[in-house]
Amino acid sequence: KQEVTQIPAALSVPEGENLVLNCSFTDSAIYNLQWFRQDPGKGLTSLLLIQSSQREQTSGRLNASLDKSSGRSTLYIAASQPGDSATYLCAAVYNFNKFYFGSGTKLNVKP
Amino acid sequence: DGGITQSPKYLFRKEGQNVTLSCEQNLNHDAMYWYRQDPGQGLRLIYYSQIVNDFQKGDIAEGYSVSREKKESFPLTVTSAQKNPTAFYLCASRRTPSTDTQYFGPGTRLTVL
């Protein structure tokens, strides 16, 4: 059974810090790896999608990397801001319809 | 405005009652999904549909039912057979065939009284 783990479960940092969120998955036969953001009581918003043939993707201050062989992905957030406070979830995608989500990392960026 | 809508935002149900959660999308996506999210946990797939009049069970389908009579709509019924229905329910859609991401609605919080 595919399992996705995210560490840490929660993270609190002062504004301006660079930070790394971790995601690991048990089955390396993924189609792609996706990172989402979820604000309290809201739906998910897609941040980055890394295809299985890619090593990383960047969008603004966000950079996500993928190492299929080790079953790991990281989300790097540069120069964090209070508006980045949210829960970040990763999803390992094994076919078009099977998205396996981690339980998320709850990020708090203090002003 | 293109997107996915879910209603209601909050829903209260008495034990033994069936309730139906609405999900509508105007993105012209073929595939639609229902997930359940419990506190501190990731999303778990309940049902998905790749095309009108077809749907498949996900990992936790027991106690739930769906229909897909129109491309735009994918309602979820939580039946009295669902033992612990209190949760946050999320609907999503995706363009197919592709490896595109899923687009999520704002969610419905269901509480059983």
Comparing C-alpha atoms, which of B28, B30, B6, B26 is closest to residue B91? B6
Residues 6+ apart with CB under 8 A from B1: none
Bond before B39 cis per omega within 30 degrees: no
Binning pLDDT at 50, 70 and 90, where does residue B97 land?
A: low
Contact A4 B109 (CB under 8 A): no
Cα torsion A39, A44, A47, A53 to 10°: value is: 150
The backbone region for B9, taken as left when phi is positive above 0, alpha when psi lies in -120 to 50, beta otherwise, is alpha
Contact A31 B99 (CB under 8 A): yes
Chain B nearest-CA distance from A102, in A, is 5
Q: Which of B27, B30, B43 to mutate to test the interface with A (most CBs of A within 10 A)?
A: B43
Give me the pLDDT at residue A2, please.
81
β-pairing verdict for B54-57 and B108-112: unpaired
Average pLDDT score over chain B: 92
Q: Collapsing DSSP states into helix, strand and coil, what is residue A82? A: helix
Give the A-side interface with B, CB within 8 Å: 4, 9, 31-32, 34, 36, 41-46, 49, 51, 89, 91, 93, 96-104
Contact A46 B102 (CB under 8 A): yes
| Interval B39-94: pLDDT, tens | 888 899 999 999 999 999 999 999 999 999 999 999 999 998 888 999 999 999 99
| Interval A10-61: pLDDT, tens | 999 999 999 999 999 999 899 899 999 999 999 999 999 999 999 999 999 9
Q: How far apart are CA B77 and CA B15, in angstroms?
A: 14
Chain B nearest-CA distance from A43, in A, is 4
